[in-house]
Structure 1
């Protein structure tokens, strides 16, 4: 049990920049990429990060797997109420063509110098399992997921 506590103490202090996988392994599209490209990625992933490729990768938003429902439904099948036309506008039939038009703008992110503990606290607070990891210039450089964090913890435990 003591070894487990020692591993956990070390684990909490690890900087995210030392844990994140390379960006070329992440699901990323440029904001002007077509929805078809987004859907191709979502066949095997649960999300796609949307970046501004013209501004060296600044994070603009995220598209989640379940958002595909909004793409495929015709605008008249969305539940509309005052102030909620956004999902209807995400419909391909409603005119959406690019990743930027269908993304959620408020992707949750964390700085690459944050610790594993800070990431866990943020995930718990917002009830999510993945965060975008940004450098000091707000560019997307990685992602941290609960799966990555579990694997890192297990590697520390098994190394002792």
Structure 2
């Protein structure tokens, strides 16, 4: 299999064939304590926030860089009229639960989408990770790291070599 054939196969793969198990994903519920969220973010780049474990309804995402807003005192957030105040996302501003700091409406993609669909969406929104959903329910995640791993696996299995 040459690189072109490997890429063709890669682009047409369904996300269901490569998303990791839900048990390996960083997921918390809306009422999870913010300190527990911070513990997860020490080792992960994001945490998905769901309504509850039964419904797995996706509510939001907390990204690693959001920790800055959580740690800053409220007066250093800068507030503009008509905007939601980030100061409420601060520990000193009263944030205590995952729902208090989660970015609502995270980028999602349906579980039956292809890798090519995923790459296009990531490019448009300059996103490194997307929630994989089915009817608003979190069923997985896809990241650039997962896509890179899968492409390298295909190239190795297919014996493809990069040519200059």
Give the conservation status (yes or no) of the 8 Å contact 2:22–2:140. yes
Look up the match of 1:66: 65
- Cα distance in 2, alignment partners of residues 71 and 148 from structure 1: 28
2:62 match: secondary structure: strand
Residues paired across the two proteins, number: 158
Look up the match of 1:13: 12
2:103 match: secondary structure: coil
Look up the match of 1:142: 140
Look up the match of 1:99: 98
Q: Deviation of residue 138 (structure 1)?
A: 1.6
Summarize the alignment of residues 43-58 of structure 1 with structure 2, pairs less than 5 Å apart: 43-53=42-52, 56-58=55-57
Note the residue ranges of structure 2 that are not aligned, 5 or more in a row. Answer: 159-164
Deviations 1:54-90 (A, max 9, x none): 6510100000111111111111111112223421110
Across the aligned residues of Structure 1 and Structure 2, the Cα RMSD in angstroms comes to 1.2
Over 3 Å counting, the alpha-carbon distance change for 1:95 and 1:115 in structure 2 is: same
- Cα distance in 1, alignment partners of residues 104 and 153 from structure 2: 34
- Cα distance in 2, alignment partners of residues 118 and 42 from structure 1: 28
- Cα distance in 1, alignment partners of residues 27 and 61 from structure 2: 9
- Cα distance in 1, alignment partners of residues 128 and 48 from structure 2: 14
Over 3 Å counting, the alpha-carbon distance change for 1:147 and 1:54 in structure 2 is: closer
2:80 match: secondary structure: coil
Deviations 1:1-37 (A, max 9, x none): x710001111111100110000110110001101011
2:23 match: secondary structure: helix
TM-score normalised over the length of structure 2 = 0.92
Look up the match of 2:3: 4
Look up the match of 1:157: 155
